[in-house]
Structure 1
Amino acid sequence: MVPPVVLAMLGTQAWPPVHLLGFSKRGFAALNLLTRHPDLFAVASVWDAALLSDRPPHPQLVEVAGSTARLDEYEVRQNLRRHAQALQGARRIALGGIGTLEADWTAGRQLLEALDIPHDAYRDAPAAHRWDTAWLAPALQHLLALEASFHPDPSAREE
């Protein structure tokens, strides 16, 4: 489990907000971490995050999770619905990329809007869904913009 490891590393000292950045399935994971642990993770910027549309999960993800029931615990759409109230207020999600996963991007944006979860939606990254560094700079820029809006007063970040 990632949150216990993060908490153990941070200890009891004051610590800066933890930011999440992810591409494709890692974007899916970043959204899940933020959704399930909004007290631990401040913002998430994801590009071409998989599994936001209503198509069945990829068999590889079911295999990794161990079962469909276990994967359901980490299903982004369900977790956004379950924990929407915790994400209403400050803008904490940047949803980027449309490439080959345009249906995911569109469905994700529609769901966030339906749940009144503030977010940024951007398309200023490459259209191809492949791992390279082209998506990283726009995703990071949006992450930093989220962080600035989440903590508009710079002194609020200093402990």
Structure 2
Amino acid sequence: MKQIFPERSLVTVFEKPSMSTDNFSFVVAIVVLTSVSIVVASEPIVHQVNSTRQSAMTSVCVLLPDRLPEGGEPRLPVVYVLPVEAGHGTRWGDSLAEVQKHDLHNKHRVVCVFPTFSDLPWYADHPENTQLHQEAYLLQDVLPLVEKNHPVLKVREGRLLVGFSKSGWGAWSLLLRHPDVFDRAAAFDAPMMMDAPGKYGSGPIFGTVDNFRRYQISSLLEKRAVDLRKESSRLMLIGQGNFQPEHVQINDRLEYAKIPHTWIEGPVRDHSWNSDWLPEAFDWLTRVSP
């Protein structure tokens, strides 16, 4: 794995945003190159990031397919593989190893991005603690870094999301809050019907009930229903596991609201990155991507 450290070959500095992530726009990422490195396409690249929106240094691992665009070939879609743990935790499996095991980046010829977060990721911005701005960190630090340094599409159709459990929630909330930024979101075994902060370590991240409401999946679906009805399926739900009852409930709501979506109910799988659900998610994500 090739690592790019600030003190060695890449210094990445991000300006603090002056706008709310509710009205998202990219800020400029200032990248200072201090040396040039030759990178093998199949070798993961790790960017170290020092962001004002996180309480500690984080990293962004980028896995490129073996065959990169040449000449006039179009740039590649990106699948953002959203973590379910803080830092480099692997209690719930290893998403990078799983993608590599199934060779998903080459099978679908996509760039896979694995960001880390300093705190338990719920993909929300805390109302007071600016070092807990997880949504802004992803939108204003991670995306510009990837799109500046790698041959990827810089449009909605090229940005795809996948996660499970809390990061499955995060994948859906990011798409529903920023439908012009992300194209598709796939979630496995996620607590989609959570109606208050507190469970699964979410309390300290959301901070207040009012802030939680801004990210609540059921509320966001109501808000976006009219627009989502006009398009083909942009939301995928996979899994028969810990949150099966919540999957049934959110599926019922989607059907009642006539929102196109994709639901793969079975088989029963472990609550883990390593339970062989990622290939199905990638099949769906890339089938509807450019």
Range into which the TM-score falls when normalised by the shorter chain: 0.7 to 0.9
Match of 1:72 in 2: 213
Greater Rg by CA: 2
Instruction: Give the unaligned 5+ runs of structure 1.
Output: 148-156
Separation (CA, whole Å) in 1 of partners of 2:267 and 2:184: 19
1:8 to 122, 144, 148: 144
> Please, which of 157, 170, 193 is the counterpart of residue 53 of structure 1?
193
Deviations 1:58-84 (A, max 9, x none): 162122211222111111111111122
Residue of structure 2 equivalent to 1:36: 177
Q: What secondary structure sits across from 2:236 in the alignment?
A: strand
Q: Is the 8 A contact 2:171 2:185 kept in 1?
A: yes
Is the Cα–Cα contact under 8 Å of residues 125 and 138 in structure 1 kept in the other structure?
no
Contact 1:61 1:71 in 2 (8 A): no
TM-score (norm 1): 0.79
AA matched with 2:203: V
Superposed structure 1 runs of 4+ greater than 4 Å apart: 54-57
1:129 aligns with 2:268: no
Provide closer, same or farther for how the CA distance between residues 59 and 92 of structure 1 changes in structure 2, counting only shifts above 3 A. Answer: closer
Task: Return the offset for 1:85.
Answer: 2.2
Aligned partner of 1:92 in structure 2 is: 234
Q: Secondary structure at the match of 2:190?
A: coil
TM-score, with length taken from structure 2: 0.45
Alpha-carbon distance between aligned partners in 1 of 2:203 and 2:172, rounded to the nearest angstrom = 18
How many residue pairs are counted as aligned between the two chains?
Answer: 146
Q: 1:83 to 1:106 in 2, by over 3 A?
A: same
1:97-153 CA distance string (max 9 Å, x none): 121211111011112112221011003454222342522222222222343xxxxxx
Q: 1:126 to 1:40 in 2, by over 3 A?
A: same
The structure whose residues are more often helix, as a share, is 1
Alpha carbons 1:53, 1:103 under 8 Å: kept: no
Task: Quote the offset at 1:18 in angstroms.
Answer: 0.2
Distance 2:186 2:226 in 1: 19
1:8 CA displacement: 3.3
Alignment correspondent of 1:107: 249
**In the TM superposition, what is the alpha-carbon distance from 1:56 to its structure 2 partner?**
4.4
What is the CA-CA distance between 1:54 and the residue it aligns to?
5.7
Larger strand proportion, structure 1 or 2? 2
Whichever residue aligns with residue 15 of structure 1, its letter is K
Aligned partner of 2:163 in structure 1 is 22
Higher relative contact order (CA 8 A, sep 6+): 1
Structure 2: segments with no counterpart, 5+ residues: 1-135
Read off the aligned partner of 2:228 and give its amino acid letter: L
Instruction: Tell me if structure 1 keeps the 8 A contact 2:163–2:171.
Output: yes
Superposition CA RMSD, Å: 2.3
